[in-house]
Structure 1
Amino acid sequence: MGPILVTGLVGGCIGALYMLALRELTDWLGPDAWGGGEHLVVLVLTGAVVSLLIHTLGTPSDVELLVNNIHVHGGTEEVRGLRALIPASLVGVAAGSAIGPEAPLVTTTGTIGSVLAGKRGLSREDTRVVAITGMAAGFTVLFGAPFGSAVFALEILHRRGLEYHEALMPAIVGSLCGYAVAAVAGVVGLEPIWRFPPVVELSGIDLGLGLLAGVIGAIVAAAFTALTVVLRRVVGWIPAGLRPPVGGLVLGLLGIVTPYALTNGEFQMEHLAEADEAAIVLVGFAAIKLFSAAVAMVCGWKGGFIIPLFFAGFTIGLALEGYLPESAHSWSLILALMVACNVGVTKTALGSTLVVSEMAGFATLPTTLIAAIVSLVLTSEIGLIDTQRRRLSVDVDGPDMGGIDHAAVA
């Protein structure tokens, strides 16, 4: 239990400090602090700062490297990459780039979890569990969705569902620890992040719209992936040191066209939900958001694309709202599209579903989850179903969870 609790609490503290610093920097550098032309200059200068940080402090860490290390080594003890990642991502996201803080934050907390496991001399398998716990704590500080964040951290390591299921309970415990720290620090609240109209009852047609959402989400994800690959080839002709400032210039120009080209879109969704925009305009907002996110990524700005993909699904859903039958619930389609667009890229089917559900209003989920975990810990030595046991091929014990069998409660 010790490494899990420590990792969750430390991850929550680091995440809370990161988000508090991001809020302060955003007040200074964000689009709301400057006019269009002035902010273009801010973005170009921010790109120059990002380039300078990378040149001075070295190549930043990233999620892809962390995921690879978790698979191969169980984690990483290489923290030098965080020296550039943390400040570069903070200034970039704060200035209004269309990518969010999720990737840098999770890379940081996952790396810290690996380091803590290494200092305890844990095995590769145990280190992997602790690293995943750190990632879960980072996700929950951003999303305010402890259950979804834990599952998300597990699923993002694979393309076809979570496989390190022995890390699920530790990840949930670490995620709850991170959530508690972030709530105390005022980074997340106990209320939903988004206030969307509730979906009270579904009809048969809503299930069919879920299938439609999956298809549309897959198309959006494929288009975004292809766009990123093409733009990566294009910027390959630009010297590495010039790419961040060039990216800042492009972002600034797009921001003059529409403010929806800037920021990751998390706080723009509620505004759009109350606005009355034409369908073609809403689709355009989705397209320019994803284009801006791709530009930022390929030009060396540090951040993640999860929330921009949520935004794209959201705006496309709003665009389709006026074309739905009267018996259909438009918000079931909108939420489904948010999930589908993200899953198409991240392959996190369960995690994305839970995260969007929690962020959009399952207010009782954290409290029921806490009750479930406490009950499980207190009854870990009591069993009525005698056939519950570890998987037959198990070769992983995982960190001590106070008597919890990660595969089953015996």
Structure 2
Amino acid sequence: MRQFLKKGEPALVFQHLVKWTLIALPMALGVGSLVALFLWLLEEATNLRYQYPALLYLLPFAGVVIYALYKYLGQGTEAGNNLILDQIHDPSGGIPFRMAPLVLLTTIGTHLFGGSVGREGTAVQIGGSISYYVGKKFKLNPADIQIIVLCGMAAGFGAVFGTPVTGAVFALEVIAIGAIRYHALVPCFITAVLADAVCSAWGIQHTQYQINFQKTAFNLTSFLRSDYLLLIKVIGAGVAFGLVAQLFARATHAIRNLSNQYISVKWLIPALGGGMIIGLTFLLGTQDYLGLGVVPPPNGTVSITTAFEPGGATTFSWFWKLLFTAITLGAGFKGGEVTPLFFVGATLGHTLAVLTGAPIDLMAGLGFIAVFAGATNTPLACTLMGVELFGGAPILYYAVACFTAYYFSGHQGIYAAQRLATHKFLHSSGKEENSGNKAAGK
């Protein structure tokens, strides 16, 4: 019988674990602390905007300032998360350390003046720039540089949402569609856990979500116990989640590309984008779709948390948040896409629950993770996120929603630098269906 470990391999495994634990410690301390600072500043900026709603009128000006900062100080960092992904694909590129403070400052500015963006992009860029800096200081070889940047992504993502397991798997899964880099699994997991612990040690408390749904089982088989009517509804919802994820990605890319194609004076792009956000806010008569949207603003009614409750979202809340976010990001404001995707998914899930008679809290939770899964092409990470955020009892529904959304979201995700390792669809002959794309987003 073949030996599982050859002679000397246990020592190499132990050496590998010790090496990456020692590397992870300073990196997790830096990333976890900066993410904690970022989350604290983000909360302060949001509260200040609630206190002074007129700050929204300065959003176009803030966009011009952000444009100028990246034009004159960014020096290649304006690509954001795509720069991190490109560095993993090609370690010769490099990640400037200035990316971390620059994206932190500009994301806070975007939130302060009402832009509809998230926070994961900032956390991932903080993790990527710090990890690359640490890798250079430790004089790591190119292969280890790739691993340490993956660790930085995992640390930033895990710390900003309080989901270290998801952070580790997300970093490995998001690089290329249809491929996971398992060789970096343990280093990413160690770094994500430590960074989350450091962030929590600073007193940061993450939003708590709860699904009170209690599953009922039709025991028609001994190996699969579930409510089959609800399962059919979840599959249908998964299709909708995937299509909306594709709509979000395409809308964001289209606004960015068309703006750059037809507007020659580039600083006008964020100015016009900010003006559109102001106009939409007045058109709808609510500030529900500004900022993160985790909790409703004063006098507001719709948010991620309310979507889990009856009457906590309108029929088209998901569409308005999608439009606000696509305009904000497409116009060049800084921040992440993931928290707005949570909003879009949770409110869409609420709407589908009302239409189908499914449990509202369950469907909101499924939309929360499944639209994210479709937009980033990371169904495994998002299934794990459901377990970390909502509990493991409905894991079958998590997986069905996320996997279905993944297949129906197409090959274009929110990250243009995400590569296509394997097409999602195969012909019956076993040959890959040629979608004409070399990489997602292209």
Matched, 1:322 2:339: no
Cα distance change of structure 1 residues 253 and 334 upon mapping to structure 2, 3 Å threshold: same
Any conservation in 1 of the 2:310–2:360 contact (CA below 8 Å)?
no
Alpha-carbon displacement from aligned partner over 1:17-41 (angstroms, at most 9, x marks no partner)? 221222222232x2x1233xx2431
Matched, 1:307 2:339: yes
Any conservation in 1 of the 2:314–2:351 contact (CA below 8 Å)?
yes
* Counterpart position of 2:275: 249
Any conservation in 2 of the 1:8–1:133 contact (CA below 8 Å)?
no
Structure 1, unpaired ranges of 5+: 364-410
User: How far apart, in 1, do the equivalents of 2:385 and 2:46 lie?
Assistant: 24
What is the DSSP-based 3-state SS (H/G/I as helix, E as strand, rest coil) of the residue aligned with 1:276? coil
Matched, 1:221 2:253: no
Q: Amino acid of the residue matched to residue 208 of structure 1?
A: I
Alpha-carbon displacement from aligned partner over 1:43-77 (angstroms, at most 9, x marks no partner)? 23322332332244235341011101111117734
Q: Using the TM superposition, give the Cα deviation of residue 271 of structure 1 relative to its aligned residue in structure 2, in angstroms.
A: 2.6
User: How far apart, in 1, do the equivalents of 2:258 and 2:340 lie?
Assistant: 22
Matched, 1:6 2:64: no
* Counterpart position of 2:305: 270
Higher normalized helix content (fraction of residues): 1
Any conservation in 1 of the 2:59–2:274 contact (CA below 8 Å)?
yes
Equivalent of 2:289 in 261, 268, 288: 261
Cα distance change of structure 1 residues 249 and 332 upon mapping to structure 2, 3 Å threshold: same
* Counterpart position of 2:210: 195
Q: Amino acid of the residue matched to residue 54 of structure 1?
A: Y
TM-score, normalization by structure 1: 0.79
Q: Using the TM superposition, give the Cα deviation of residue 200 of structure 1 relative to its aligned residue in structure 2, in angstroms.
A: 4.7
What is the DSSP-based 3-state SS (H/G/I as helix, E as strand, rest coil) of the residue aligned with 1:282? coil
User: How far apart, in 1, do the equivalents of 2:99 and 2:309 lie?
Assistant: 42
Matched, 1:16 2:36: yes
Q: Amino acid of the residue matched to residue 236 of structure 2?
A: L
Cα distance change of structure 1 residues 264 and 24 upon mapping to structure 2, 3 Å threshold: closer
User: How far apart, in 2, do the equivalents of 1:199 and 1:358 lie?
Assistant: 17
User: How far apart, in 1, do the equivalents of 2:352 and 2:270 lie?
Assistant: 36
Q: Using the TM superposition, give the Cα deviation of residue 116 of structure 1 relative to its aligned residue in structure 2, in angstroms.
A: 0.5
Alignment of 1:390-401 (within 5 A): none
What is the DSSP-based 3-state SS (H/G/I as helix, E as strand, rest coil) of the residue aligned with 1:259? coil
* Counterpart position of 1:181: 198
TM-score, normalization by structure 2: 0.73
User: How far apart, in 2, do the equivalents of 1:94 and 1:170 lie?
Assistant: 35
Q: Amino acid of the residue matched to residue 179 of structure 1?
A: D
User: How far apart, in 1, do the equivalents of 2:178 and 2:293 lie?
Assistant: 28
Cα distance change of structure 1 residues 203 and 313 upon mapping to structure 2, 3 Å threshold: same
* Counterpart position of 1:235: 259
* Counterpart position of 1:386: none
Structure 2, unpaired ranges of 5+: 1-20, 217-225, 296-302, 394-442
Any conservation in 2 of the 1:161–1:347 contact (CA below 8 Å)?
no
Please tell me the root mean square deviation across aligned C-alpha atoms, in Å. 2.3
Q: Using the TM superposition, give the Cα deviation of residue 337 of structure 1 relative to its aligned residue in structure 2, in angstroms.
A: 2.3
* Counterpart position of 2:69: 53
Q: Amino acid of the residue matched to residue 196 of structure 2?
A: Y
What is the DSSP-based 3-state SS (H/G/I as helix, E as strand, rest coil) of the residue aligned with 2:267? helix
User: How far apart, in 1, do the equivalents of 2:382 and 2:329 lie?
Assistant: 21
Cα distance change of structure 1 residues 91 and 73 upon mapping to structure 2, 3 Å threshold: same
Any conservation in 1 of the 2:56–2:114 contact (CA below 8 Å)?
no
